Amino acid sequence: MIHDGKPRVFDVLAKAFAQEGVGTCFALLGDANMNWAVRLAESGCRMIYVRHEHCAVAAAMAYARKAGDVGVATVTCGPGVTQLTTALPAAVRARLPLVVFAGEAPLKSGWYNQELDQGPLVTATGAAYLRLHWPDRMPIAVRDAFLQARTERRPVVIGVPFDLQARAWEGLIKLPAPSHEVLPRTSPMPPNAEDAARAAQLVASARHVVVLAGLGAVEAAAGPACRALAAKTGGLLATTLPARGLFHDDPFCIGISGSFTPEVGLEYLKEADLVIAVGCSLAYHAGGGGQLWPKAKMLQVDIDPVAVNQGQEVARHHLRADARLGVEAITAALPARAAPWRNEAMAARIRDSKPDSAAFEIETGYLDPRDVVEALEASLPADWEMVNSGGHCSWFFAQMPSRPQEKFLTIREFGAIGNGISFAMGVAAARPDRTVVLFDGDGSLMMHIQELETIRRHGLRILIVVMNDGAYGSEIHKLRSEGMREDGAVFGYCDFAAIARGFGLSGRTVMDLAKLPDLVREFSESEGAAVWDFRVSDKVLSPTIRRAHPQPAKAP
């Protein structure tokens, strides 16, 4: 049918995507998207063909975050779409703009085995679902899907019945101006002068100030302004987990605020009497559910300030403004401070303290995850892109204070494991000239291990570092604390190096951290991807687990 030389609806749909400037698309083909995908590839778009639809959307999420653009993925109808029900809510919560081209079952058939009411499934995740059933309007509808993804910062799934896609296109092909051309141009929002003066008064009256930056501060390039404000208040700096590293070289940055706060940071946060949250939504975990700074008043500087978030009252004082302009206005209106909180002794403590100093008895032959992270911090090149995943091990991996924010990515607002490998692929696609290092747990990596094949086939430059405790660490520590059997969470140490070799990658089992510099050299001189399997003890508990799930005392 498609040999008659006439353009098809899928040709026009692919042109509409190309018109949007789509340079990378993560894809898994089926009847309902393959013709469209072939045409998009022919337009020059780089296609990354993954092995599970979840991974297509998860990779597009990391791509969107790193490229600062809309992430694009494609899946077939029915079972292709049902595979997305973990990735889509994760993208919604992380406010990532995505457009997913999904097929729909044919309209002409009375019965089709892959038929499914896709709209309710997709909208239940918080993503938008657009049915495109009128060919003439499709080019504009595609453009509007990109506009919606950009302005609402969430995934938009486009469903097009594949018999409609195969129809001949009648008439001229006219494409609308792309979304980035018609998007309203907005300048950073300055604060209202009276509000800024009131905020400055509040800051002037506080003694122990912490300036806490979130991803909004990163996006607004408010880092230097935050440092200047913290310096003028004589206070300290901190970031949320996703924004970690924004102040990596500032001696008065206590690191992450939230579940991953290092030991010294916890102490100083307790003393804070004002936290200035900049470009930060004050999600539940950022303040440990309000426990981290029991004495502090909260001032939120944000374009979209809130009183309540994720079930808690988070701030009584607000300055509605672009993060940088708001912070600069406060600093400008602030009188010089006579007695700063910060001093050289604090800087020395922050610099010289271990993130966690607790002692554990561990079996001989196994590594302490904290030593693994310290050794990695010391030996991995500074320009590698880091991806942090989930699970118990992510606490340790987040403690690399010398690494800057622009080299870091984590997306974990939905709390799902299994995404690390996809996020690493998304970062590798967005930064093709860089090496990407993924820090993952054995359980999480195993969940989508098939993507090692995608990584090899596409020649993605990714090093996967597995913190292998032979278990679902989060679960065993919780079960142990409750005195319950742990069988369902313990799997034994599987051989990731052999698995990697089976997929055609290089693989190493690491039992001796002194070998790391050699391993780094070997990897840097080689091509392609590798998996390093660090055998760690399951006896080392992160401070977060110790706080939330105290372990029973040992029998005498």
Ligand X SMILES: Cc1ncc(C[n+]2csc(CCOP(=O)(O)OP(=O)(O)O)c2C)c(N)n1
Would you count residue 53 as binding ligand X (CB under 6 A)?
Answer: no
Nearby residues of 95 by Cβ (< 8 Å), 6 or more positions away:
153, 154
- CB-CB contact of 105 with 115 (8 Å): yes
- State yes or no: residue 78 binds ligand X (CB under 6 A): no
Of 417, 455, 463, 541, the residue at the interface with ligand X (CB under 6 A) is 417
Q: Which residues bind Mg ion (CB under 5 A)?
A: 441-443, 469, 471, 473
Q: Which is nearer to Mg ion, 288 or 443 (CB)?
A: 443
356 contacts which partner out of Mg ion, ligand X, none, CB within 5 to 8 A by kind? none
Stretch that binds ligand X, among 56-64, 138-146, 442-450, 517-525 (CB under 6 A): 442-450
Is residue 302 close enough to count as binding ligand X by CB under 6 A?
no
103 binds ligand X (CB under 6 A): no
Taking the complex as a whole, the smallest distance from the CB of residue 532 to ligand X amounts, in Å, to 15
Please name which of 409, 480, 404 lies closest in space to residue 439, comparing C-alpha atoms.
409
Beta-strand relationship, 530-535 and 506-510: parallel
Of 37 and 476, the one with the shorter C-beta distance to ligand X is 476
**Site membership for ligand X, residue 443 (CB under 6 A):** yes
What is the sign of the dihedral through the CA atoms of 130, 65, 389 and 495? positive
421 lines the binding site for ligand X (CB under 6 A): no
**Least distance (Å) between residue 58 CB and ligand X:** 11
Q: DSSP string spanning 256-312? A: E-STT--HHHHHHHHH-SEEEEES----GGGGGGGTS-TT-EEEEEESS--SEETTE
Nearer to ligand X, 51 or 349 (CB): 51
Minimum CB separation of residue 358 from ligand X in Å reads 17
C-alpha 99 chain-centroid distance: 17
Buried residues in 290-299 as b, exposed as e (16+ CB within 10 A):
eebbeebbbb
Q: How far is the CB of 441 from Mg ion (least distance, A)?
A: 4
Stretch that binds ligand X, among 254-262, 464-472, 479-487, 517-525 (CB under 6 A): 464-472
388 binds ligand X (CB under 6 A): no
Q: Which amino acid is at 534?
A: F
Min CB(127)–ligand X separation in Å: 18
Instruction: Choose from ligand X, Mg ion, none: what does 74 bind? Cβ within 5-8 Å by kind.
Output: none
> What is the rounded distance in angstroms from the CA atom of residue 531 to the CA atom of residue 446?
12
Rounded to whole angstroms, how far apart are CA atoms 361 and 187? 56
Distances (CA, A) of 288 to 80, 256, 283, 393, 408: 37, 11, 9, 18, 22
User: Judged by CB under 6 A, does residue 471 bind ligand X?
Assistant: yes
* Stretch 180-199 residues interacting with ligand X (CB under 6 A): none
N-term to C-term CA, the chain: 80
Q: Which stretch binds ligand X (CB under 6 A): 41-49, 151-159, 275-283, 470-478?
A: 470-478
372: CB partners within 8 A, 6+ apart? 396, 467, 513, 534, 536
Helices 9-19, 138-152: crossing angle, 10 deg rounding: 40
Site for ligand X in 474-513 (CB under 6 A): 474-475
Q: Which is nearer to Mg ion, 76 or 394 (CB)?
A: 394
The answer to the question of residue 157 lying near ligand X (CB under 6 A) is no
Minimum CB distance to ligand X smaller for 59 or for 264: 59
> Alpha-carbon distance 172 to 525, whole Å?
53
Closest to 277 (Cα-Cα) out of 258, 261, 259: 258
**Interaction of residue 543 with ligand X, rule CB under 6 A:** no
Residue 417 interface partner, choices Mg ion, ligand X, none, CB cut-off 5-8 Å depending on type:
ligand X
- Tokens coding 329: 């206005």
What the block records as the tokens of 138 is: 């499709």
Q: Which of 159, 161, 305, 391 binds ligand X (CB under 6 A)?
A: 391
Closest CB to ligand X among 127 and 417?
A: 417
Of 384 and 491, nearer to ligand X (C-beta) is: 491
Binding partner of residue 428 among ligand X, Mg ion, none, CB cut-off 5 to 8 Å per kind: none
Binding of ligand X by 469 (CB under 6 A): yes
Q: C-beta of 55: minimal distance to ligand X in Å?
A: 13
Rank residues 30 and 242 by Cβ distance to ligand X and give the closer one.
242
Nearest residue relative to ligand X (C-beta): 441
- Could you tell which of ligand X, Mg ion, none binds residue 418, using a CB distance below 5 to 8 A set by kind? ligand X
441 binds ligand X per the rule CB under 6 A: yes
DSSP summary character for residue 353 = S
- DSSP 3-state of 64: helix
State CA 134 to chain mean position distance: 36
Size of the site for ligand X (CB under 6 A): 19
What is d(CA 23, CA 540) in angstroms, rounded to the nearest whole number? 44
Residue 341 DSSP class = S
Asked whether position 368 contacts ligand X by CB under 6 A, the answer is no
Which of the ranges 222-230, 347-355, 440-448, 520-528 carries the binding residues for ligand X, by CB under 6 A? 440-448
φ/ψ of 252, rounded to 5, equals -105, 20
Binding site for ligand X (CB under 6 A): 390-393, 415-418, 441-444, 467, 469, 471-475
